[in-house]
Amino acid sequence: MDTLSFKTQSSNSATIEKGWVVVNGENMVLGRLASQVARIIRGKHKASYTPHVDCGDRVIVINADKIRLTGKKWDAKEYIRHTGYPGGQRRTTAREMKAKSSTLLVENAVRGMLPKNRLGRQLFKNLFVYEGAEHPHEAQKPQEIKF
């Protein structure tokens, strides 16, 4: 009997190939957009995915000011932070967050879907969010993806 020997290939920083991807956030629901973006940043769409290595692509999200939230989430969804002082809990609604900067909504959603460790903080640096349709990364020749 002919035995085939397959060896699992584990990626490392020398063997990975990182690309650039553009995602248009216009009329997309925030959570669905964020889960797909986190999947690409993590590298789970590649056959060479390795859990402990940054093997994903760099993602550019454009038109972040045109994302949608379903139901009453614009007023009901709250982002909670703490200043570090007694009684310092601060609450912000999604509408207030978008008025301040619509990129914060997408960044917070994607950050919440990445690992909570050193790798997750490194992966988050591969996300670039812009409010309008323009971005300064044309030199990298990003590939456009539609979900």
pLDDT tens, position by position, 44-73: 999 989 999 999 999 999 999 999 999 999
Chain length of the chain: 147
In the chain, where the domains are located: 20-69+102-145
At position 27, the amino acid (one-letter code) is N
What is the pTM for the complete model shown?
A: 0.90
Distance spanning both ends of the chain, measured CA to CA: 45
Tens-place pLDDT, residues 6-36: 788 888 888 999 999 999 999 999 999 999 9
- Output the CA torsion sign for 66, 41, 114, 33: positive
Please state the φ and ψ torsions of residue 80, each to the nearest 5 degrees.
-110, 135
- Fold classification of 20-69+102-145 (topology level): Ribosomal Protein L13p; Chain: A; (3.90.1180)
